[in-house]
Amino acid sequence: MIPLRPFIVKMESGMTARDDILALGKRIGQSIIGQEQMVERLLLGLLANGHLLVEGLPGLAKTRAIKSLAKNLNSELSRSVHS
């Protein structure tokens, strides 16, 4: 994973924001094996408060990764398919 500088802010759980992000990455990584770079990029997009365009060959767990991210954030998956 990309090393993140530790944040000073402590969350209510006693964990730092960095710990929370690393834990989120670990949970997502458990559902998509072998896609560490994708997990890193999903987290970077999340931290940058941006939109993500996930492209790749069929069968590379793109939808599974986004579903896992949404599930772990207690959010919904919003998907646009353009030809």
> Would you give per-residue pLDDT tens digits along the chain (83 residues)?
555 554 444 555 567 888 989 999 999 999 888 889 999 999 999 888 878 888 889 998 888 998 898 888 887 766 666 65
- Host domain of residue 63: 17-72
Residues 55-75: pLDDT tens digits? 889 998 888 998 898 888 887
Whether 48 maps to a domain, the answer reads yes
Whether 21 maps to a domain, the answer reads yes
Number of folded domains that form the chain: 1
Whether 7 maps to a domain, the answer reads no
Give burial (CB, 10 Å; 0-12/13-18/19+) of 41.
middle
Whether 12 maps to a domain, the answer reads no
Whether 8 maps to a domain, the answer reads no
Whether 79 maps to a domain, the answer reads no
The pTM of the full predicted model, rounded to 2 decimals, is 0.69
Q: Contact 21/47 with Cβ under 8 angstroms?
A: yes
Whether 5 maps to a domain, the answer reads no
Structural tokens at position 39: 């997990």
Whether 56 maps to a domain, the answer reads yes
